[in-house]
Structure 1
Amino acid sequence: MAGAVTGLLLGGCSAPGADPASPPSSGPASAPPSSSARPVAGAAPATPLEPLPAGIPAALAGYYGQKLSWQSCDTGFECTTFKVPLDYANPGGGDISLTAARRPSDGSSKRIGSLLLNPGGPGGSAVEYLEAAAGGYDTGVRGAYDLVGLDPRGVGRSSPVGCLSGERMDAYTAVDITPDDQAETDALVKSDQEFADACRQASGDLLGHVSTVEAARDMDVLRALLGDDQLHYVGKSYGTYLGATYAGLFPARVGRLVLDGAMDPSLDSVAGNRTQAGGFETAWAAFAKDCVKRDGCPVGTTEQQAGERLDALFKSIDSQPLATNSDRRLTESQATTGVIEAMYAEFLWPELRSALTDARAGDGTGLLKLSDSYYNRADDGSYPNLMFANMAVNCLDLPAAFAAPADVQRAVPDFEQASPHFGRDMAWMALACGYWSVAATGAPHTVRAAGAAPIVVVGTVRDPATPYAWAQSLAGQLESGRLITYDGDGHTAYGRHNACVDGAVNRYLLTGQAPDNGLSCAK
């Protein structure tokens, strides 16, 4: 779902249905793994991210000198809060409160320090991820580290961004994102504007201070408060963007960093959205190839037929939304989101086959369930602040892809070439930041992190949300980058029970021994 990308989240844990015991988590399947960076066509020129001064500025000394008080959380973990400046350029202008949780080391191994975890998004709660996934980490890792989840600023329990009520979010998720006429275009624009206005009204000044650079600086404050000289970190999906940003700003403080399901910070919003659309196309092709070999595949017996039937289903739902087992009807946008949701992990493919079977018979319940899972909609109709923070961070980190519907219409052919089934949707999704109330503070950049310790980057060849080419590019940018290639499906790889990937990453976390650059792991 999105970092460079607006409209889709990138967080591994954000993919609903993920096995909480498994830390969650492109190019054609036949493409040979490579450790070299491959620039993506259409990317805007990117400038290097410059490191911050090595010393702690006097104006920030009070923040770095706080004492953490850990208290028992409701879930049995320990929680704490600490303060950071709202605006690092004006530390005296007020502060905000951030929340972190930890699972202390069990003492079974020699203690290394704290290992910060981030599941992605942007907008995914690291606190909730820690509570769900800590037990799935390697026993040696759990013995050597205190596992720590910090909700980034604007997210979860850390001064969260607010936007729409549950009822208004239901309407927002149902709006047609592939407008066929002026009336539908106007409705989409109105929906984007209302979302942006609601976020501005509910969040105030915070909306201008939830960038990834600021979140990375917050992590450095926490590193110091935890008593660690270096930051040890596992970031998935958007968490790789956050981790790479930290490395670029504080290369001398890089400890053992794992960036799994990597984003490419050198891409602008247009190139990022377009290449991500290609990632979902690759994932759909893998699903279709598997489905058509099975009896009763709802999309036919050939891969071409599968694509044709999917397009026909979307077109039919666009004309006549489907009834469900609730008072909500399934719209085309929700049907598309439901299919996209199932691309995040192979274990969701059976659920998608069932949902497509039902949808072709006129019942949209299964696809609506998948769509709701994507948005983390609760049974009572409420939503977490995941999507609000997602939009806020994305729109601040990069200039908007498009300023008006005419810009999208010109770009649609290129998007559809990258992804015949999802390209048009993702082009229109990228319009949202064009109406944001706060100007972007970030821009495309490369991350060299000169002088940093080895940084492990993991890329999955058929990853839908973070295409494999992004991992190649990030590993190539980092002076000390080491690329692990997983020739598999789904979003992210570490903790998904591949002995090759897990073994290399765990060895690195426990010993500091980074794998050889270009290590390739088979499915």
Structure 2
Amino acid sequence: MFIALVGIALMVTTACTAANDAGPTSDERAPTGPVGPVPDGLDDFYGQRLDWGDCAPYATTGIAEQTFAAPEVECALLEVPLSYEDPDDETIEIGVLRTRAQGDRIGSLLVNPGGPGVSGMEAAASLRFSPTINKLGRRFDIVGFDPRGVGASKPTVECLTDEERDADRADDGEVDGTPRGVKEQEAEERAFARKCEKRTKYGEEMLANIGTRDVVKDMDVLRSVLGDRKLTYLGYSYGTRIGYTYAEQFPGNVRAMVLDGALDPEQNIVDSLVAQGQGFGDAFAEFAKWCAQRQDCALGKDPAKATERYQDLVQPLVDDPVTVADGRKLSFEDATTATVQALYSEQLWEKLNTGLNELQRRRGETLIGLADQYNERGPDGEYSGTQDAFAAIRCVDDPRVTDRDKILAAQRRYAEVAPFLDSGNPISDARDACAFWPVPNTSKPHLPDVDGVPPVLVISTTNDPATPYKAGVQLAKAMGGRLLTYEGTQHTVFAQGNQCVDQPVIEYLIDRTLPKKGLRCGE
């Protein structure tokens, strides 16, 4: 899963001059009709007016309840077709949140945090705490939206109940690669796909139109409704796929675009997951080096033995999970999920070491907390729904993988590049839920055709655990854009306090002035 971890940044300064072609400059600017080009048959959608109001009713998680309570944020629902091939049929609603520009407004800055399936409304609300984004907020409305099927958008993808999700996390049968284990796992995957179809409103039709292909169409409707002739966009992680897909579908509607933590558009899902495994393997090695310098390192003083020490700690959980304070079980899956969550950012390494030390004493509270954070499980036991949406979007965004030989080859490659995640059980050739999905994929990997798109700015981190550095290099080249390199070990970097990164990005978004070629920034 690709999730951007956006932290609190340091205050920066920037120039404040820009050509105002994004849209009108006051809220009375709200369009009375479509702004910019409109695809055939969509005039009513492109020309609608949003009914902005209190954000509290839109909160679907504890974090949202806190961040949506701020008086400066306002929310609304955008109406879009369920199927753009039949816009006169059913409609659905997209949740939108904004903070209005405080100065000379250029237009809207639309933000997506990744996932797929993470709430853009929560991301935009949380970004208010970043001084860097506040700087941009003088010139832009900061706008986040929940992609179709996600969060406050209606309807949402519904697959597992909270109780079923807890049970699924506690069951480590899926790591068993024996014939019996494969059969059981595939039965669970089939059942999951059926539940998604049965429990999601509009069933197959909703699942068939949940992917990035349709999300970017919603974005273009939103662009017009916000009064912007052209889109200014900031996409993190999987949000970079939304960005380059939008640029391909609507090349004449792009004003400026920052893509941080890029996906390689040409890479198939198998190669992408193996590359991600390599990234997490490298990040684990960096964590082991950091840990070895500490007196309390749970993995010992020799980084070369860290994987072995780690497996000694977590592999017993396959057969003997640890009971935590609330009565739940810390499984092998939860322990490795917690580790992956911590490897997204060095800021979580201290917490990971604490959790591994606790595990030596048969305690699991810290690790299950990190796994809860990854799975977006609140203290009340409720899940955000991100995992359901993630599965549904992934299953239509890429061709399904059913060839068992390819699955086995990928598992072997994954075990080689991320050995710390090895359960000790036989490698499995089980097919996942996408192999049993009720609708076909609507996208496939390819280099985007972006003729006519102004230069975009791609940020790539050299030791990014989730989206490898080379993916950003590839995307910048494919889009004819500019690459900004950050040397560090984390997933995404803009608006997290590094002035070398933040300053040129702000200048690009405001003035559309690209940073110098070959710019490299460090920790």
| TM-score normalised according to structure 2 size | 0.87
The residue identity in structure 2 corresponding to 1:152 is P
Matches within 5 A, 1:64-463: 64-74=46-56, 75=69, 76=71, 77-107=73-103, 110-138=104-132, 139-159=134-154, 160-176=156-172, 177-203=174-200, 204=203, 205-402=205-402, 407-422=406-421, 431-463=432-464
Residue pair 2:237, 2:262 contacting (<8 A) in 1 also? yes
CA shift at 1:314, angstroms? 2.5
Inter-partner Cα distance in structure 2 for 1:444 and 1:58: 27
CA shift at 1:320, angstroms? 1.4
The 3-state SS of whatever aligns with 2:234 is: strand
Match of 1:26 in 2: none
The 3-state SS of whatever aligns with 1:282 is: helix
Inter-partner Cα distance in structure 2 for 1:460 and 1:197: 38
CA shift at 1:112, angstroms? 0.6
Alignment CA distance shift 1:150-1:178 (3 Å):
same
Greater mean deviation of Cα atoms: 134-143 or 216-225: 134-143
Alignment CA distance shift 1:22-1:178 (3 Å):
farther
Residue pair 2:235, 2:243 contacting (<8 A) in 1 also? yes
Inter-partner Cα distance in structure 2 for 1:243 and 1:225: 19
The 3-state SS of whatever aligns with 1:115 is: strand
Alignment CA distance shift 1:429-1:367 (3 Å):
farther
Match of 2:482 in 1: 482
Residue pair 2:213, 2:442 contacting (<8 A) in 1 also? no
Q: Which runs of 5+ in 2 are unaligned?
A: 11-35, 57-68
Q: Which runs of 5+ in 1 are unaligned?
A: 2-9, 24-53
The residue identity in structure 2 corresponding to 1:66 is Q
Residue pair 1:274, 1:427 contacting (<8 A) in 2 also? no
Residue pair 2:459, 2:483 contacting (<8 A) in 1 also? yes
Alignment CA distance shift 1:183-1:324 (3 Å):
farther
Instruction: Write out per-residue CA displacement over residues 200-237 of structure 1, whole angstroms, 9 at most, x where no aligned residue.
Output: 11111211111101101110111011111110011101
Greater mean deviation of Cα atoms: 447-456 or 419-428: 419-428
Match of 1:45 in 2: none
Inter-partner Cα distance in structure 1 for 2:4 and 2:410: 28
Greater RCO structure (CA 8 Å; 6+ sep)? 1
Inter-partner Cα distance in structure 2 for 1:453 and 1:346: 34
Inter-partner Cα distance in structure 2 for 1:193 and 1:438: 13
Alignment CA distance shift 1:386-1:430 (3 Å):
farther
The 3-state SS of whatever aligns with 1:259 is: strand
Residue pair 2:109, 2:233 contacting (<8 A) in 1 also? yes
The residue identity in structure 2 corresponding to 1:200 is E
Residue pair 1:175, 1:191 contacting (<8 A) in 2 also? no
Inter-partner Cα distance in structure 2 for 1:232 and 1:447: 18
The residue identity in structure 2 corresponding to 1:415 is Y
Note if 1:63 corresponds to 2:56. no
Residue pair 1:343, 1:464 contacting (<8 A) in 2 also? yes
Inter-partner Cα distance in structure 2 for 1:82 and 1:388: 22
CA shift at 1:420, angstroms? 2.0
Match of 1:27 in 2: none
Match of 1:473 in 2: 474
CA shift at 1:301, angstroms? 0.8
Instruction: Write out per-residue CA displacement over residues 85-143 of structure 1, whole angstroms, 9 at most, x where no aligned residue.
Output: 11112222221111111000112xx2110000111111111111111222314243110
The 3-state SS of whatever aligns with 2:488 is: strand
Greater mean deviation of Cα atoms: 179-188 or 86-95: 179-188
The 3-state SS of whatever aligns with 2:223 is: helix
- The number of equivalent residue pairs is 476
Instruction: Write out per-residue CA displacement over residues 347-395 of structure 1, whole angstroms, 9 at most, x where no aligned residue.
Output: 1101000000011221122211111111011112111111111111100
Inter-partner Cα distance in structure 1 for 2:431 and 2:344: 20
The 3-state SS of whatever aligns with 2:3 is: coil
Residue pair 2:237, 2:467 contacting (<8 A) in 1 also? yes
Alignment CA distance shift 1:325-1:123 (3 Å):
same
Instruction: Write out per-residue CA displacement over residues 253-311 of structure 1, whole angstroms, 9 at most, x where no aligned residue.
Output: 11111101111121111111111111111111111110011112000111111111112
The 3-state SS of whatever aligns with 1:71 is: coil
CA shift at 1:428, angstroms? 7.0
